Amino acid sequence: MARKSAFGQIKTPSWWKKKHKPSEHYYEVSYLTPIDELDKWPNSAQRQYKPKGARTKQEAQDWLLSEEKLVHSGEWTPVKEREARRERNSVLFSEYAIDFVKNKKIKESTRNKYFESLENHLLPFFGDMRIKSITFNIVKDWYDEQPKNVAIFNAYGLLSQILGNASKRHGENEPIIKENPCCLEDVSRPKKKHSTVIPSQEQLGELVSHVEERFKLAEHIIGFLGLRIGEVLALQRRDIDLKNNILHVRRSLIEVRDEETQKVKTIVGDTKSETSHRDLYIPDAAKPMFEKQLKKYTSKEADAFIFTTEGHTNFIKPSNFRDRVHNKARKQVEGLEEYWPHDGRHATCVYMRDSDNTSLNVVSKQLGHSNTQVTDNVYTDATVSEERAKATRKVSERMARVIEISEHEKTDSSKSLESMESVESTKPNSNDNEAASFSYAFLISMKMDARIQALKGMEEKQQEQALKSLPDGMREETIKALQA
């Protein structure tokens, strides 16, 4: 029988009586949602129930009394709303972050990198903290203590994604935090330590000569066709169409996390993007090598891998290929000590653009880029050193001309003055010191992308001086591009 009071009711539900002894008590405690609150909370139920009920009448009465006080004080909110808020306020970063990475719609290889970033950089510091307690100052303290490398830059980016998601409303669920505390102003991607190496034909030939016979073709594909290393090592017999001289790129080796063991493993997965699915022409010069590879080192099955270790039919992992094959060979070639497999993609881009005058669109399709801007950035990155060398030679020519003029000043002052004025007209708009002149001459002849790359490689003061030395219009455009 339900016991009613002036506010709410207390009763033992029938389902409890059927399953429990009379001495075991449980009370369902509820009250009607205040009429005045229905407009404010239109989705609220007609009755408000005590979570998990009550085991004693006193507990039930105390709860009703506290609820009544909330109604009269004007501080009342639906019971489920308060429960949800308590739950949100108690969520640990470790629980939320792991769930976020597990359920985010990303490639498995990216998911694996996120988990590594969590385990190595975020969970040791933030793991036991409640999401609600993570503030700007806490994020800043963590970041200030970290080395400023790419791993920490990526970890900060992941942290920002996680806390940004926690600050958003998801369906009927309110945000856990009001705003994302990851709003540091001085976070920027560290300068790339590795400088792209573009091998000459002679260097590439020497490198291949140091490679085991069964992997020579792999190095040729990397150096001339521009495939990613994972794409090369995932190639199968069915991908080689020698009748039509076509190489089908359909798969790539990727690293994923095993859900049971939580260990990283390499599997055959999809390519990096849809545009990475592509058909490439096999150069006539390479056809005999493909024929030999299929005949001598590849099993007869259509899905047999082209590159395997001796005595095995499974693929060779990219890490093993680098360590056991590529790295051993590059160390024996002068100038290629820092030549990475991925540099082969850059080399393909440079040779196709410079030597073959291939259109940017065709090069983009060859490399499997999502758009031509990516290809253009790769080309700029690979050629910036060469561009700077050319610019430096031009600076040297201008300096030689000025020196020549200055040496003739005494014998022909009027001619010297006229020449110097001509040179002066090509100088920056303000300072005429050596640093400004060099920076202006160095940057003025470069394309915008190359100029930005050069500026990013300078120290802060040097960059500031270089920008000041540019003509007004060019300086404004360059600053905008630099800040983009």
Tokens 């590529």 belong to 326
Q: Is 1 exposed, middle or buried (0-12, 13-18, 19+ CB in 10 A)?
A: exposed
Query: Degrees (nearest 5) of the Cα angle 188, 194, 199?
Result: 145
Fold of 91-167: DNA polymerase; domain 1 (1.10.150)
Residue with tokens 């994302």: 180
pLDDT value, residue 380: 53
Closest CA to 315 of 233, 245, 385, 393: 233
User: Which conformational region is residue 193 in: left (phi greater than 0), alpha (psi within -120 to 50 degrees), or beta?
Assistant: alpha
CATH fold of 201-378:
hpI Integrase; Chain A (1.10.443)
Predicted local confidence at residue 430, as pLDDT: 43
CA distance 483 to 348: 30
Show Cβ contacts of residue 181 under 8 Å, excluding neighbours closer than 6 positions.
134, 135, 136, 138, 139, 163
280 beta partners: 247
Find the angle CA(6)-CA(8)-CA(12) to the nearest 5 degrees: 125
Helix, strand, or coil (residue 280): strand
pLDDT tens digit string along 17-70?
778 877 788 899 999 999 888 888 888 888 989 888 888 889 998 999 998 998
Structure confidence by residue, pLDDT tens digits, 261-278: 778 889 998 887 777 888
What's the pTM value of the predicted model, to 2 decimals? Answer: 0.54
**Conformational region of residue 8, where left means phi above 0, alpha means psi within -120 to 50, and beta covers everything else:** left
pLDDT of residue 376: 55
- pLDDT tens series, the chain, 484 aa: 455 567 888 888 888 877 887 778 889 999 999 988 888 888 888 898 988 888 888 999 899 999 899 888 888 888 887 887 777 778 899 999 999 999 999 888 889 899 999 999 999 999 999 998 899 999 999 999 999 899 999 999 999 999 999 999 877 678 889 999 999 988 888 877 778 888 888 998 999 999 999 999 999 999 888 888 999 999 999 999 999 888 999 999 988 888 777 788 899 988 877 778 888 888 888 899 999 999 999 999 999 999 998 777 899 999 999 999 999 999 999 999 999 998 888 888 777 765 556 666 666 666 766 565 655 555 455 554 554 455 445 545 655 555 565 455 444 444 444 444 444 444 444 444 444 444 445 566 677 877 787 787 777 777 887 888 777 778 888 888 888 7
pLDDT at 365: 64
